Amino acid sequence: MEVILLERVENLGQMGDVVKVRPGFARNFLLPRNKALRANDENRKIFDAQRADLEARNLERRKEAEGAAKKLDARSFVVIRQASDAGLLYGSVSTRDIAEAAESEGVKIDRTQVRLDKPLKTLGISKVRIVLHPEVTATIEINIARSADEAERQARGEDVLARVEDEAPADEAAGAEFFDENAAAQTDADASE
């Protein structure tokens, strides 16, 4: 199915381009969200008549998005999640979680604007791209931690997982001493019989 794009669509084309897309993508995404018109003679005339108005509206929305991007760029948001000792989350951080974390700090982000390249399933600080306008993006940091204290330590650059690993050998040594004492007591008991 061929459509005329009414705005820039990522990985598809610019405003005014006639592109061929799958019918389901056009019916379920592009057409209902007014991002495109079916490519026929009547719609081409409509687009040509409205082109200047569409470009003016697009420019206005772009300027607003650029202003918001300056405020949002390089901000950091904390998401508290349960995780294993190895730093793996029980689940993952979704676009909805990121939008809620931003909104709790007074920043309005829609979850559809959040672009995750890969699922966030480990503790740590990750960079996430926010698409405010088809031509304007901002990058934020998501600090995923088990507690607010751990989030502060991660923000300072401390590796919270290394600390857990450093504590583990001391516990193992204590356990080895416990077993050695029991082994020595068992040997003494065997000798007295």
pLDDT by residue for the chain (193 residues), tens only, comes to 999 999 888 889 999 999 999 999 999 999 999 999 999 999 999 999 999 999 999 999 999 999 889 988 889 999 999 999 999 999 999 999 999 999 998 888 899 999 998 889 999 999 999 999 888 999 999 999 999 999 999 988 888 887 555 555 555 555 555 555 555 555 555 555 5
In the chain, residues under CATH classification 3.10.430.100 are 76-162
Orientation angle between helical segments 148-155 and 160-192, nearest 10 degrees: 120
Level-2 CATH architecture, domain 2-64: 3-Layer(aba) Sandwich (3.40)
In the chain, residues under CATH classification 3.40.5.10 are 2-64
pLDDT tens digit sequence for 13-25: 999 999 999 999 9
How far apart are alpha carbons 27 and 25 in whole angstroms? 6
54 in Cβ contact with 15 (< 8 Å): yes
**pTM for the structure as a whole:** 0.71
CATH of the domain spanning 76-162: 3.10.430.100
Task: Give the pLDDT of residue 71.
Answer: 86
